[in-house]
Amino acid sequence: MIEIKILTYTLEELIGPLNDVEKRFAPKHLYVAGQLPIPLPSPRVAVIGSRKASVKGLTAASKIARFLAEHKVIVVSGLAEGIDSAAHNSAIEANGHTIAVLGTPLDKFYPRKNARLQEFIMQKHIAISQFPIGYPIQPKNFVIRNRTMALIADASIIVEAGNSSGSLHQGWEALRLGRPLFIWSPLMHDPSLDWPGKMAMYGAMEFNDPEEVLDDLPSRQRILEVIA
C-alpha cells in the first residue's frame, strides 16, 4: 500500500452547490485522495455496468470511455472488475482523467486485483469514498456507493447490466436526481431485460454513439480551463 494523503470534504465542497434533493441524499463526509482540483471540474460522466461483462460490453465500455476522455470529459466509475475497470483504464490510456468512487475505505482494495489501478488513480487522478479508514467491507456499501456516484456524476451511462445488476441502483438514483441517464442501444432491444424499458419510461435515453451523450452535459469550459 502506497502512502496516501487523505482529505475530507462535504459533497458540496467537492462538486459545488446542491439542491434540496441532492442535500437529502448526500453523505456527511467524503474521503478523497488524488490530484484533481477541488471543487471537481465538469463534466463528469459515470460509465458503469456488469462485473462479469461480455467481450462486447467491455469493448463498448472502452470505446465510450476513450471517446469521453478525448473530449475532456472526466470518466467516473466504481473500480469494480468488468465494465468499471475497462472505463477507468481506457480513460487513463487516452490521457484523460478518471474518478473512482469506492465501496470500501481508501486503504482497502476490492477486488484485490485492482490494487495497482486504485493506487495509480489515488496518485494521478482521484479516488473518493464515504467510508472512513477502518470501516468494515459489507455488500450493502456498494449499493450506497452507487447513490453517491450518481450524485458526483453529471450523467450516468449503463453499458451492460442484467436484471439484478447493482448498476441499476445507480440508474434509478440518477433518474431520481434528475440527472441524464443513458443506456447503450443493444440493452434497449434485449428481450431478456425488463429494466431498460422501465427506465426509459422515466426519462432514460437510448444511445448508439457516445457523441450523443455530449449534448446533454454541462458546459465543458471549466474543465478546459482547469485541466487543459
Segment 60-92, tens digit of pLDDT: 999 999 999 999 999 999 999 999 999 999 999
CA-nearest of 125, 116, 59, 128 to 96 is 125
Q: Where are the alpha helices (DSSP H) in the chain?
A: 11-15, 20-25, 55-70, 83-93, 115-124, 139-152, 167-177, 185-188, 195-201, 211-214, 221-227
Q: What is the pLDDT of residue 1?
A: 60
88 and 121 in contact (C-beta within 8 Å)? yes
Q: What's the whole-number mean pLDDT along residues 5-26?
A: 94
Q: What is the pLDDT of residue 227?
A: 44
Q: What's the whole-number mean pLDDT along residues 160-176?
A: 95
Q: Grid coordinates representing 48?
A: 458503469
Read off the DSSP letter of residue 218: P
Summarised one tens digit per residue, pLDDT across range 123-143 is: 999 999 999 999 999 999 999
Round to whole Å and give the CA distance between 81 and 137.
16
Q: What's the whole-number mean pLDDT along residues 175-189?
A: 95
Answer whether residue 114 shows pLDDT above 60: yes
38 and 14 in contact (C-beta within 8 Å)? yes
Claim: this prediction has a pTM higher than 0.85: yes
Q: Cβ contacts of residue 201 below 8 Å, gap of 6+?
A: none
Answer whether residue 226 shows pLDDT above 90: no
**CATH, domain 7-227, list 3.40.50.2020, 3.40.50.450, 3.40.50.2300, 3.40.50.970:** 3.40.50.450
Answer whether residue 210 shows pLDDT above 90: yes
